[in-house]
Every structure is written in structure tokens, then in C-alpha cells.
Structure 1
């Protein structure tokens, strides 16, 4: 059982209390409206009618005399819509004419309900007279009334019904709030329990869905997608950690062996060779750490990107010129089909690094005599850059994996490289809100980069 303080801080309990309050308030409002239209308003209308009648009769007495008033009162008794009542008493208390069985000794200030039951053939008929009083010029009391028994009956019914209605509404509201609180509490507990199991290390846990499509199902779907992304991220970290350990183990072992041999060797030429070999391994390790650090900084948003308007056409031409000697040394050709005047809001250094990595991969893995093509043009989506080659290409199962850190294609294991080039390209493209696509050039590989927000002819 929850402690009292925690219970009152519970959102479910507070929602249940709000539900009870709103339900009772709405019930009271509806009951009040029904009472107003069914009892109070008709009673006020009858009171206004009787007040008007009393005023007219008092004026008749003043203008035409007492005999005219008595005749009017007798004639009024014949009312068929509502039974009419009256009492006319002289200043000394003697009754001049009356059909009211009784009336109060004190004067009626506004209006008052009087019992006006009448016996007829041994049977008592219930009447309630809504009565008003006028003091005539000679001091006589004139009491005039109309039967409102039907309205008074409704008033009694409302009085009795109000008590039962309040009890029934309270029970219904409390029951409904408990049911609602229990339903909401179960859904919240399901989320909490799943979160606790995930915190305990079970990343495969997911929030159970009922398939109703309600708000809780939508929240559960969103949280499940989030948990899926977290699981993928953690798996990616684990995989990267394994890859880092695997990739660093070999160069570190070679570096350790070279330094050990260097320490034991007495031949100057051998010592020179071992020192150069150890230095190359250290450079390779340094390049791996630098690439990992750059990728991590870009993906975490800690890289201070120098975004500005970049002449993309010139940047691509410079990248081609930079890699052309390496391509020619392998008997390869690089052809550029770049639309003039293309500009892009980007970090020029990172963008040049991405294009350079793609050209380096095309040269390194394309094979001798490969034709490499760089195209760039403006499209409806922005600027599209494509680098394709006529080499062996990348098989379909590997096209999504090649952007993972340290992933190497099976037939490229012998080539020099860190396996971080495309991972860095992917991070740079994501930083620029672009899209990277690896496809088939038939033959060869085609890698496309699409960036939005471009301008130019």
C-alpha cells in the first residue's frame, strides 16, 4: 500500500479526485437547471400573476367599492385553470368573505404557501395556495391566492430525489474514478516495470501494447521505438568496442614485437629497419585514434563546424586534382561532370574530407584501369554529388554495413586502411543534414550524397 504522502502526490489519485469533483459538479448543475425550470421559475410566474391580481382587486375596491370587490372575488372562485382562493377580513377581524380554510395572523410580506385543503363528500382534496396580501384603504386585509399543488408536489419530489441523486452520483463518481484510476495505474505500472527491467540490463524488454490505439498505446509505441534505438546504439557501442580491440591488437602486437627486436638487435641496418617499421605502426595507430576521435566529435555535436557558403564546384575540382596523381599511377581515370556555380552552406574542410575519402576508396579498391566519375548537379531536393567507379562494386548485403566502424569487405582485407573512411563520411553527411546512398553503378559502386539548401545555377 502506498504511503499517504505518496498517495496524494500520485497523478492517478489526483485525476480520480478531479473526476469525482467534475462529475458531482455537473450532476448538481443539471439538477439545479431542472429545479429552476420545473419548480422555481413556474412558482415565480404564479407569484407574479397573483401579485397582479391582488393589485387589481385592491384598485377595484378603491374605485368601485366593497360590493364590487366581493362580486369579483366570488366570480374569481370559478377559475378553471387553477383553483382561486381569497380571504377578506374587516379591521375588527370579522370575515367578510373567504374560501381559504385558514391564514396567518401576521401580515404576508411578499408571498407565502398556505394549506388550503378542501373536504368534498367526505374526501379531503389537497390544495396549496400561493397567497399574497394587500391592506385596503379602510384597514381591511385582502388575501388572494392560487392553487400551486402541482408545483409544490414537484418541489417535494425534487427534495427527496436530490438526496438519493447525490448519494447515487457520489457512488457512481467514486466507482468510476476508482475504475479509471485502476486502468490508468495499470498502464503506468506496465511502463514503470518495463523501465526497471531495462535499467537492470534487459535491453530487449518492451512495453506491452493492447492494440487499442489509445494514447497509452501511442506512448508505448514511441517508448518501444526509443528502446529499440537504445538497444541498437548499445549494440553498436559493443560492436565498435570489439572492433577497436580487434583492430588495435594487431598493430600493437607488431609494434611491441618491433620494439622488442629493436632492443635486442645489434645490427645497425636491422635496427634502422625496425625503427622505421615501429614508427609506421605508431602512425597507423595515431591515424586510427584521430579518425575515431573526429567521428565521435562530429556525431556528438562537439565539433565546431565552420559553416559558410562554399563554392562546391571549385571544391570538387580541387579534390579531383588532389587525387589525380594517385589515380594515374594505377592507370585509372577521373572524370568530372560538375555543374558550374554550385554553392552550399557547409564546413569546407569536412566536406573536402568526405569527398576525398570517397575518391580514395574508389582509387584504392577500384582496381587498375578503373574509370572514376564525379558528378554534381542541382536537383529539386538540393545538390546531389555522386562518385562512381567501374570496379568490383559492393555486394548488396554489405552496403549498409560498410559505413560501420572498422568494417572491411572480405576481398579487401589485404589492402591498407583503417575501415573508418565511410564511417567518417556518414558522420559528416549527417552533420550537414544530408543523405548518403550506396548503390550499384553496373558495374562498380555509386555513392551519392544529397544536401538540401543549395543554391546556384
Structure 2
């Protein structure tokens, strides 16, 4: 996996958006889950409280036989309600619960406990929520509801919440990865085109995908700029060619006339010959300098790079030293060279030699 993808601004922006989206989605789903559980539990508690008040009122009005009759009748109905009516020693008088839960003995008010339920699949453990109350005469009344379905429903919502957040993270990271990879591929193609242009290929252009996005607009602007630069370079080449023609021709004519003057000059007039010879040497140096400048201009424009080769600068230095050593000897001088061996560069050998001579 290319680690550059994780360093792109696209991936970072996508990661920030994914974080904000995940947090907001989790907050919304958590709020829905919390309110659903609370509302369901409130409904169960209201139902139980209503039944407890109704049964207590029946006990006051109809006494013990009337309450036992009502509880037995309601216990036969499969409504999910749980009843237990027992005397002061804990003996069950009516109800569908076999005995008082242990939690009811150690605490008062609301309790949750497990109990056995006979279903088509056999006896199963369910969870119930109930409230118990002591009535006149030492009797104990417990009223509750089976909340197994509510617990399963809450578990289903909780599982859906976890899956939603997990899928959001997976698809978010995957989407960020794909977006970043496509973005990075386009950036790499633009970088490759830039390197080709810097290497001297002015005909290279930035790739345009055709989507019209910000990268396409940037690439189009750069291509327009490169077109303008190419036109300017072409114009410079034409001007350079014209200047070369305009300057070389007079210089060559001057050189030809000086040579003719030298041939026709009086051999005894040494002063005139020396002056003409100096003018001829200066003209040759001027032509050589001008040719070198044109060669350098062509090299900078990328035209002469095809003629580049590996040049041993150490060997070239020794050759130039041997070439100019007689000149130092004529002037009673000494030429000393200190050249590092095996130094190689890629360049035009003629231009490198001329640069060394200069």
C-alpha cells in the first residue's frame, strides 16, 4: 500500500469529515436508542403501577377472596403480566409466579429478576420487572411484566447501532482511500509532466482528465502558460538565428579582409603585420565566444542535450593542462594542476573543454 495516500490533503479532509459524520451519526442513533429504551421502560412501569393500584383498591373493597379471584383470573391470561399474592409466611395464595424472588426479600420498590417460562420450545429463562407491596394483614402483593421482548428489542437496536457505525467507518475509510488514490495518481501524472518539462521537453503538457474540476482548471492554466513559453522560446530561437546570421557574416568578412591584408602587406613592415595579426586573433576569439554563447543558449533550451555523453573531467583537465603548458613555458611560468581522479559528468565535451579553458 502506498503510504503517500495517507499524507494527501484529500485523505485528511475525508478523515475529518468521516470523524464528524461518525460522531454525529452515533449521537443521533444513541439518542434514538436511549429514548426508545426509556419510553418502553416507562410504559412498562406505568402499566405495572396502574395494576398495583387497581389490585390494592380491589383488596380494600372486596377483601381477600375478591383479590385472590381477580389475580387467579388474570394469571390465566397470556398477557405477559406476572402476579404473586402471598401471606405473611410467604405461602402463595394466587398468581403465576412460583415464589417471591430473592431480590424482593432484600430490597423494596422496583426489582428485575429471572424466572422460568413454559414455551413451545420448553422451559426458558426470561427477565421480568416488578414492584412489590405489603398489604394490610401482612399480605405481600407482587405485580410485574415480562420484559424479555423489550430486552431483545433493545439488543437489536444496540446491534444495529454498532453495525451502522462500523459500516460507516469501513465505507468512509474505503471512500477516502479511493478518493486519495485517484487524487494522488493525477498529482503524480502532473509531477511527471513537470519533470519532463524541466528536463528540456517543452512539448510536454499537463494531463487533463476532462472532469472540469480544480485540477483540470489548474492543468489548463499551466498548459496555456507553457504554450506561451514555447512561443516565446521559438521566437527567441528565430531571433538568435537572425542575430547569428547578421553578426557572423560581418565578422567572417572582417576576418577574410584581414587575412588578405596580411598576405598583401609589406613583409618589411613588421609593425603593420603584428597589428593585423592581433586583430585577426581578436576576431577569431570573438567568433569562438559568439559560437560558444549560441551553443550554451541551445543547451539551456534543451536542444543540445541529445549530444550529451559521459565526460571524464579528470582526463579533460590533464589534456587542457598539456595544451596550455607550452604557453606558460614561453612566459617563463609554471603550470601546476591538482585534479581529483575519476570525476565523471554528463555533458557536451566541447563545451566542457571550452569552459575549462576559460
Could you tell me whether the CA contact under 8 Å between 1:17 and 1:177 is conserved in 2? yes
Aligned-residue Cα RMSD (Å) equals 4.3
Change in 2 beyond 3 A, CA 1:247/1:39: same
SS at match of 2:109: coil
SS at match of 1:206: coil
Matching of residue 83 in structure 1 with residue 74 in structure 2: no
1:378 paired residue number: none
User: Runs of 5+ in structure 2 lacking a partner?
Assistant: 251-358
Give me the whole-angstrom Cα distance separating, in 2, the residues matched to 1:243 and 1:120.
Answer: 100
1:70 paired residue number: 68
Matching of residue 101 in structure 1 with residue 102 in structure 2: no
Change in 2 beyond 3 A, CA 1:96/1:221: same
Could you tell me whether the CA contact under 8 Å between 1:15 and 1:181 is conserved in 2? no
Matching of residue 237 in structure 1 with residue 237 in structure 2: no
1:11 paired residue number: 9
Offset of 1:22 from its aligned partner?
Answer: 4.8
Matching of residue 46 in structure 1 with residue 37 in structure 2: no
Change in 2 beyond 3 A, CA 1:238/1:174: closer
Could you tell me whether the CA contact under 8 Å between 1:60 and 1:69 is conserved in 2? yes
CA deviations over 1:335-379 (Å, ceiling 9, x no partner): xxxxxxxxxxxxxxxxxxxxxxxxxxxxxxxxxxxxxxxxxxxxx
Q: Which has the higher contact order (CA 8 A, sep 6+)?
A: 2
SS at match of 1:61: helix
Matching of residue 178 in structure 1 with residue 173 in structure 2: no
Offset of 1:12 from its aligned partner?
Answer: 3.4
Change in 2 beyond 3 A, CA 1:194/1:219: farther
Could you tell me whether the CA contact under 8 Å between 1:207 and 1:223 is conserved in 2? no
Superposed counterparts of 1:273-292, under 5 Å: none
Offset of 1:224 from its aligned partner?
Answer: 3.1
CA deviations over 1:308-342 (Å, ceiling 9, x no partner): xxxxxxxxxxxxxxxxxxxxxxxxxxxxxxxxxxx
Offset of 1:180 from its aligned partner?
Answer: 3.1
CA deviations over 1:407-454 (Å, ceiling 9, x no partner): xxxxxxxxxxxxxxxxxxxxxxxxxxxxxxxxxxxxxxxxxxxxxxxx
Give me the whole-angstrom Cα distance separating, in 2, the residues matched to 1:121 and 1:228.
Answer: 78
Offset of 1:26 from its aligned partner?
Answer: 6.1
Offset of 1:144 from its aligned partner?
Answer: 0.7
Could you tell me whether the CA contact under 8 Å between 1:101 and 1:117 is conserved in 2? no
Give me the whole-angstrom Cα distance separating, in 1, the residues matched to 2:232 and 2:138.
Answer: 105
Give me the whole-angstrom Cα distance separating, in 1, the residues matched to 2:82 and 2:157.
Answer: 26
TM-score for the superposition, normalised by structure 1? 0.43
Offset of 1:54 from its aligned partner?
Answer: 1.9
Offset of 1:191 from its aligned partner?
Answer: 3.2
Superposed counterparts of 1:31-42, under 5 Å: 32=30, 35=33, 40-42=38-40
CA deviations over 1:176-233 (Å, ceiling 9, x no partner): 433333233223333343344445554433333444x3xxx43243223312321233
Change in 2 beyond 3 A, CA 1:182/1:19: farther
Give me the whole-angstrom Cα distance separating, in 2, the residues matched to 1:199 and 1:51.
Answer: 84
CA deviations over 1:222-254 (Å, ceiling 9, x no partner): 223312321233234335546776589979x99
Could you tell me whether the CA contact under 8 Å between 2:48 and 2:131 is conserved in 1? yes
CA deviations over 1:278-334 (Å, ceiling 9, x no partner): xxxxxxxxxxxxxxxxxxxxxxxxxxxxxxxxxxxxxxxxxxxxxxxxxxxxxxxxx
Change in 2 beyond 3 A, CA 1:149/1:226: same
- Larger-Rg structure: 2
Superposed counterparts of 1:121-132, under 5 Å: 123-124=122-123, 127-132=126-131
Superposed counterparts of 1:274-423, under 5 Å: none
Give me the whole-angstrom Cα distance separating, in 2, the residues matched to 1:173 and 1:141.
Answer: 57
Could you tell me whether the CA contact under 8 Å between 2:206 and 2:220 is conserved in 1? no
SS at match of 1:56: helix
SS at match of 1:132: strand
Offset of 1:100 from its aligned partner?
Answer: 1.6
